[in-house]
């Protein structure tokens, strides 16, 4: 099996869609001798910011000298981005060999009832856990795929469970209220475990209730950590942090936006919990780990004249954080390139972005779930004076460059699929 064959096999499992529940993943890991038990783990759930928080946590633990497996989703340019050991993606040959093993187990266990076959995400998760165990990682930093309670990653016995902010998304799977969504995400909390959460309001109250019921310990990031904002450059954000264990003067992160400071603080809170559990981390690895975090496609600055920003914001809360950043920057002019999945709250997203610009160029994300630009156009015309449609991302960017003055900003957003298409159109073949 080649790497291309492996991708074809895994992508073929997408036909089974999203299937929440632990039965399939438990059968898979049992067949492989429970690889998830071979390393300690930090489990990260949430609506927005969980990938960035995982990246910051990965950086901190690597700087502390641990060998780290990082599992995230979705990927931008290459499936192998999902499965990293010490910052290096799984090799093509290793993924192909793992896929042969996983496919063999799936054929053996599920052939009598193929409609119950593991999904793409279940197979990918099993592959990642097996790879991390064989690579001898000390820690796995594992991002939830969807929700938490019934997500395939929720077979871990994590040392720390992290829940970032919580908003309305995936209601068809998680429920229609913040409380129901928070309860699903808090399903990763372990009996007697340690939990860090950046949630607020009713969502935090739900998380806190479940933590109490499970006899776990909760660190409330927004209440127990104090941030003093120090400034921004094109290299990122600088802030002072009063933690529970120490004061951190002038921390730097390479990701733009004040919302990333919350994600970084959440990672620091997780690291401090590990210190309290007896693991050696310390101030310098926290500083170094935050400063070295790598997480492309999130307010990623591509060029300066015109300024091109690529951001994978894909729901109203993320779009609001993006708007707040741009309003703080007080940019002289902005053009919007927008592509979104059809099951997202795209009208609300467009309405939120409308005060930033009078021009939007609509394009379709590279996904079967992508919304057709023509479908969006009539609604977009309510909010933007000029609405254009581009068949491809390359065409959208070319149009934007034609319209933009050198001092303007071209903002590409609406979906991680849109961000990925922009990076490809701009010549990126890898995020590393």
Pairing of the two strands 83-85 and 68-71: antiparallel
- Number of domains, the chain: 2
Q: Of the candidates 396, 347, 425, which has an alpha carbon nearest to the alpha carbon of residue 76? A: 425
The pLDDT profile of the chain, 432 residues, written as one tens digit per residue, is: 999 999 999 999 998 888 889 999 999 999 999 999 999 999 999 999 999 999 999 999 999 999 999 999 999 999 999 999 999 999 999 999 999 999 999 999 997 676 688 999 999 999 999 999 999 999 999 999 999 999 999 999 999 999 999 987 777 777 779 899 999 999 999 999 999 999 999 999 999 999 999 999 999 999 999 999 999 998 999 999 999 999 999 999 999 999 999 999 999 999 999 999 999 999 999 999 999 999 999 999 999 899 999 999 999 999 999 999 999 998 889 999 999 999 999 999 999 999 999 999 999 998 889 999 999 999 999 999 999 999 999 999 999 999 999 999 999 999 999 999 999 999 999 998
**Same domain? 248 vs 108:** yes
**Same domain? 91 vs 31:** yes
**Same domain? 217 vs 317:** no
**Same domain? 277 vs 327:** no
**Same domain? 274 vs 339:** no
Contact, 6 vs 94, CB < 8 A?
no
Using DSSP's 3-state secondary structure scheme, residue 165 falls into strand
**Same domain? 38 vs 167:** yes
Last residue of a domain, one of 226, 258, 291: 291
Task: Quickly list DSSP for 217-265.
Answer: EEEEHHHH-EEEEEEEETTEEEEEEE-SS-EEEEEEESS-SHHHHHHHH
- The whole model's pTM is what? 0.96
Domain enclosing residue 318, as ranges = 300-425
Q: What is the pLDDT of residue 115?
A: 64
**Same domain? 104 vs 149:** yes
Q: Does residue 431 belong to any structural domain of this protein? A: no
Q: Does residue 430 belong to any structural domain of this protein? A: no
d(CA 238, CA 253): 7
Q: What is the pLDDT of residue 114?
A: 64
Pairing of the two strands 88-89 and 300-304: unpaired
Q: Does residue 432 belong to any structural domain of this protein? A: no
Contact, 40 vs 139, CB < 8 A?
yes
**Same domain? 270 vs 336:** no
Last residue of a domain, one of 291, 326, 355: 291
Torsion-angle region of 91 (φ positive above 0: left; ψ -120 to 50: alpha; else: beta): beta
Q: Does residue 277 belong to any structural domain of this protein? A: yes
**Same domain? 248 vs 306:** no
- The CATH number covering residue 317 comes to 3.90.190.20
Q: Does residue 228 belong to any structural domain of this protein? A: yes
Q: Which two tokens stand for residue 60?
A: 């901190």
- Give the number of C-alpha atoms closer than 13 A to the C-alpha of residue 108, restricted to the C-beta side: 10
Q: Which two tokens stand for residue 277?
A: 């559990």
**Same domain? 173 vs 286:** yes
**Residue listed under structure tokens 């703080």:** 328
Last residue of a domain, one of 291, 317, 348: 291
**Same domain? 25 vs 174:** yes
CA distances from residue 325 to 220, 229, 255, 304 in whole angstroms, order as listed: 24, 14, 12, 17
**Same domain? 245 vs 308:** no
d(CA 260, CA 32): 37
d(CA 406, CA 424): 22
What is the H or E stretch that residue 425 is in? helix 416-425
Terminal Cα distance for the chain, rounded: 25
Q: Which two tokens stand for residue 94?
A: 């290793």
């Amino acid at each position: 099996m080649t790497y291309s064959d492996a991708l074809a096999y895994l992508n073929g499992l997408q036909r089974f869609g999203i299937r929440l529940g632990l039965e399939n993943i438990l059968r898979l890991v049992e067949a492989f001798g429970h690889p998830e038990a071979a390393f300690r783990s930090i489990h990260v759930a949430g609506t927005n910011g969980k990938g960035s928080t995982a990246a910051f946590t990965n950086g901190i633990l690597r700087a502390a000298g641990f060998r780290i497996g990082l599992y995230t989703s979705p990927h931008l340019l290459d499936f192998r981005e999902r499965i990293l050991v010490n910052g290096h993606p799984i090799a093509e040959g290793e993924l192909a060999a793992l896929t042969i093993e996983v496919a063999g187990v799936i054929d053996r266990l599920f052939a009598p009832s193929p409609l119950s076959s593991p999904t793409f995400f279940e197979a990918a998760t099993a592959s990642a856990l097996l790879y991390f165990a064989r690579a001898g990682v000390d820690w796995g930093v594992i991002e939830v795929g969807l929700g938490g309670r019934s997500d395939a990653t929720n077979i871990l016995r994590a040392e720390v469970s992290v829940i970032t902010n919580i908003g309305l998304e995936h209601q068809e799977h998680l429920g229609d209220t913040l409380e129901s969504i928070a309860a699903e995400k808090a399903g990763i909390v372990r009996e007697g475990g340690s939990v860090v959460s950046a949630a607020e309001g009713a969502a935090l109250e739900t998380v806190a209730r479940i933590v109490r019921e499970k006899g776990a310990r909760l660190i409330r990031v927004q209440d127990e950590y104090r941030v003093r904002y120090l400034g921004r450059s094109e290299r990122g954000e600088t802030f002072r942090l009063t933690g529970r264990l120490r004061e951190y003067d002038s921390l730097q992160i390479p990701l733009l936006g004040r919302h990333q400071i919350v994600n970084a603080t959440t990672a620091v809170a997780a690291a401090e919990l590990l210190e309290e559990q007896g693991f050696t981390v310390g101030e310098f690895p926290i500083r170094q780990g935050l400063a070295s975090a790598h997480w492309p496609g999130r307010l990623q600055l591509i060029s300066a004249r015109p300024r091109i920003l690529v951001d994978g914001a894909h729901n109203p809360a993320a779009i609001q954080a993006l708007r707040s950043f741009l309003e703080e920057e007080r940019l002289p002019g902005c053009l919007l390139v927008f592509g979104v999945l059809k099951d997202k709250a795209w009208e609300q997203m467009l309405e939120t972005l409308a005060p930033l610009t009078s021009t939007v160029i609509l394009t379709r994300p590279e996904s079967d779930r992508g919304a057709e630009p023509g479908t969006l156009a009539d609604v977009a015309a309510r909010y933007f004076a000029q609405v254009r449609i581009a068949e491809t991302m390359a065409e959208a960017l070319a149009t934007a460059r034609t319209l933009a003055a050198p001092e303007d900003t071209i903002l590409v957003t609406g979906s991680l699929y849109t961000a990925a298409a922009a990076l490809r159109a701009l010549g990126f073949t890898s995020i590393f």
